[in-house]
Amino acid sequence: MGMIKLIRESAMTLIDVWNNMIEAKGGAADIKIDQHMRSFSGDVISKACFGSDYSKGGEIFVKLRALLECASKKGFSFGIPFMKCLPTKSNREAWAPEKDLRTLILKVVKERNEVVTRRTCCKRFSGRSSEQCPDATDSFIVDNCKNIYLAGFETTALAATCCLMLLAANPEWQERVRGEVLGVCDGQAPDNDTIRKMKLLSVAINESLRLYPPVAIMSIEVFEEMKFGGVHVPKGVNIWALVLTLHTDPEVWGADSYQFNPDRFANGACKLPHLYMPFGVGPRVCLGQHLASAELKILLSLILSNFSFTLSPTYIHSPTLNLVIEPEHGVDLNVKKV
């Protein structure tokens, strides 16, 4: 319940900001929603995992985005051994935010409870005391915090952005989901119970994650020589699972595989459900999928019950692969109070 309250508070901050923007514009405002979604998911992850908020973690998120942009520019040189140690232009661009990030994250950790965190992490994972390996402990903490910030921030924000874009482009679905949300919540704020009852919202989110999976490619390293189908795969090779290709294959999803049709999840239209993997599969499946799902349902149900929206004429549809799939020019919505 604590987590739901925390998510609701972060979502209400966004609702207040949008209300003020709409009022200032006399009843309807064009809003580029991407940064608003990032502030929301950044706020939740900062509060839930680090006890701070988006304004405190703000600098960390700016550096993380810079790092993500550098990584996506590097593209395929990623997997080449030692490449990341060479002083190439793109590597130098990545080293600066990397260094700042380390300092910022260690500052947040120190503000929390340095002694407990350092001792616990160091003993549990390396078997040595933090005094014996201070640098390794810092790196361990920084890497894990970076993972959580990145995993829980950009992905959730993108999922919310794409779902709102699809609901704006499909007004009949927007109406159906809004009707369900208003009926289920009956004037109350969404909570654990009510979000479980929002079946149409769930299938709309599933369908959005099918068409725009934030993690469109998953890389899996082969630890031991193996046969994959008829192919011999040597140890150390990275196999890429093309999630977006699997999610849109007409043989699996039918002739309308590129259409937004959330009903396909209600009717069990997927012939091979294990090929739907927005959160990954197997032992390394996303640790935050239930948190992400609660965040999306609470945020979207509050937006739908407060506002109606259409795609703004300035919106240009251009999904781009930058490690994650994101709208190249952002998503512009025209938003009104309902």
Radius of gyration, CA atoms only, the chain = 21
User: Closest CB to ligand HEM among 214 and 327?
Assistant: 214
Q: Applying CB under 6 A, does 4 fall inside the site for ligand HEM?
A: no
Structure token pair of residue 178: 């809004």
> Which one of the spans 173-181, 263-271, 275-283, 299-307 is the region binding ligand HEM (CB under 6 A)?
275-283
DSSP H helical ranges for 213-278? 243-247, 250-253, 263-266
List 57, 152, 190, 327, residue binding ligand HEM (CB under 6 A): 152
| Candidate residues 54, 260, 276, 279; the one interacting with ligand HEM per rule CB under 6 A | 279
Among residues 97 and 288, whose Cβ is nearest to ligand HEM? 288
Q: Are 35 and 290 in contact (CB under 8 A)?
A: no
Does residue 278 touch ligand HEM according to CB under 6 A?
Answer: yes
Helix (H), strand (E) at residue 204: helix 199-211
Instruction: Look at phi and psi of residue 4 and say left if phi exceeds 0, alpha if psi is from -120 to 50, else beta.
Output: alpha
Interaction pattern, residues 211-250, with ligand HEM; x per rule: CB under 6 A: ---xx--x--------------------------------
Bridging pattern class, strands 226-228 and 231-233: antiparallel
Residues 48/291, Cβ–Cβ less than 8 Å: yes
Question: Would you call 190 helix, strand, or coil by DSSP?
Answer: coil
| Of residues 289-328, those binding ligand HEM (CB under 6 A) | 291-292
Rounded CA gap, 63 and 42, in Å? 13
The minimum distance between CB 147 and ligand HEM, in angstroms, equals: 6
Compare residues 232 and 284 and give the one whose CB is closer to ligand HEM: 284
CA 166/CA 107 separation, integer angstroms: 39
Minimum CB separation of residue 210 from ligand HEM in Å reads: 11
151 part of the interface to ligand HEM, by CB under 6 A: yes
Q: Is 145 in the site for ligand HEM (CB under 6 A)?
A: no
Q: Can residue 169 be called a binding residue for ligand HEM (CB under 6 A)?
A: no
**Of 93, 100, 87, 99, whose CA–CA distance to 71 is shortest?**
93
Scanning 6-14, 169-177, 272-280, 299-307 for contacts with ligand HEM by CB under 6 A, the matching segment is 272-280
Q: Which stretch binds ligand HEM (CB under 6 A): 181-189, 264-272, 273-281, 315-323?
A: 273-281
Contact between 285 and ligand HEM by CB under 6 A: the answer reads yes
Q: Which stretch binds ligand HEM (CB under 6 A): 54-62, 222-230, 257-265, 285-293?
A: 285-293
Q: Does 286 bind ligand HEM (CB under 6 A)?
A: yes
Rounded to whole angstroms, the Cα distance separating 29 from 56 reads 28
Say how far apart CA 63 and CA 327 lie, in whole Å.
Answer: 20
Q: In the numeric block, which tokens belong to residue 111? A: 């503000």
Compute CA 23 distance to the chain's CA centroid, rounded to the nearest angstrom.
Answer: 30
269 binds ligand HEM (CB under 6 A): no
Q: Does the protein bind ligand HEM through residue 287 (CB under 6 A)? A: yes
Q: Which amino acid is at 6?
A: L
- Separation between Cα atoms, residue 171 and residue 175, nearest integer Å: 6
- Which residue has the closest beta carbon to ligand HEM? 288
Q: Which residues bind ligand HEM (CB under 6 A)?
A: 147-148, 151-152, 155-156, 159, 214-215, 218, 278-282, 284-288, 291-292
